């Protein structure tokens, strides 16, 4: 499969080349200089807090380095490309990037991902994706309970407000809830099942 990760330009000129209404994922790999991990962790904590306060932010995962690595991977999800671009272009993020650069080997290289198979891409970029049947099983296991539970939760609302219970508005609301839930749940599920997903 072709690589779906799109490198961004520098923070001053970054443009995200994906469809404007798609949920997107921002992936940032930082190789921290030896001896600077404690300072980086403090910076990362402030940066995650700032990102979470942005409109459209859907969640963040931080993958800390293995024992023989210095690479931190931060995965941030936004509801739309416009909201992600606002965060990328913000003065607050620019200042945070300038602050962290002296702590890094190789600089700051954010990547944008809009491919759903991203959930099954090894976090460190090494190795291969699981077989498609395993991807299908995990996706099915996550989506099936949501497709049962979400309509049940909305049912009382639809009874009270019939205008929302029509075919179009009800499906729009249910689908939106399922999509957002999958975005929030899938990173944890793939992490819990990583051993099975990558086993031969």
Domain limit, last residue, from 120, 145, 169: 120
Could you read off the pLDDT of 77-96 as tens digits, one per residue?
A: 888 888 888 998 899 999 99
CATH number at residue 39: 3.30.70.100
Q: Is 19 in contact with 81 (CB distance < 8 Å)?
A: yes
Could you read off the pLDDT of 93-135 as tens digits, one per residue?
A: 999 999 999 999 888 878 776 655 555 555 444 445 677 788 8
Average pLDDT across the chain, whole number: 78
Residues 42 and 93 both lie in one domain: yes
What pLDDT was estimated at residue 1? 35
Residues 101 and 141 both lie in one domain: no
Strands 24-31 and 5-7: unpaired
Residues 65 and 145 both lie in one domain: no
CA–CA distance, 21 with 87 (Å, rounded to integer): 16
Residues 101 and 138 both lie in one domain: no
Please name the helix (run of DSSP H) or strand (run of DSSP E) that holds residue 6, with its range, or none: strand 5-7
Taking each helix axis as running N to C, give the angle between helix 81-89 and helix 91-100, from 0 to 180 degrees, rounded to the nearest 10: 60
Q: Is 16 in contact with 112 (CB distance < 8 Å)?
A: yes
Residues 24 and 115 both lie in one domain: yes
What residues make up the domain containing 174? 132-198
| C-alpha neighbours within 13 Å on the C-beta side of residue 36 | 18
């Amino acid at each position: 499969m072709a690589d779906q990760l799109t490198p961004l330009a520098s923070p001053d000129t970054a443009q995200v080349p994906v469809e404007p209404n798609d949920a997107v994922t921002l992936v940032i790999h930082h190789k921290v200089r030896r001896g600077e991990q404690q300072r980086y962790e403090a910076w990362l904590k402030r940066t995650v807090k700032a990102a979470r306060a942005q409109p459209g932010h859907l969640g963040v995962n931080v993958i800390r380095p293995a024992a023989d690595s210095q690479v931190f991977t931060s995965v941030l999800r936004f509801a739309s490309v416009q909201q992600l671009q606002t965060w990328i272009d913000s003065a607050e993020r620019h200042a945070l990037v300038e602050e962290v650069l002296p702590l890094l080997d190789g600089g700051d290289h954010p990547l944008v991902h809009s491919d759903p198979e991203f959930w099954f891409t090894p976090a460190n970029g090494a190795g291969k994706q699981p077989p498609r049947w395993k991807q299908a099983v995990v996706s099915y296991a996550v989506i099936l309970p949501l497709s049962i539970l979400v309509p049940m939760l909305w049912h009382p609302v639809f009874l009270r407000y019939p205008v929302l219970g029509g075919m179009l508005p009800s499906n729009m609301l249910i689908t939106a809830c399922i999509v957002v839930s999958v975005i929030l749940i899938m990173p944890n599920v793939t992490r819990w099942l990583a051993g099975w997903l990558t086993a031969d």
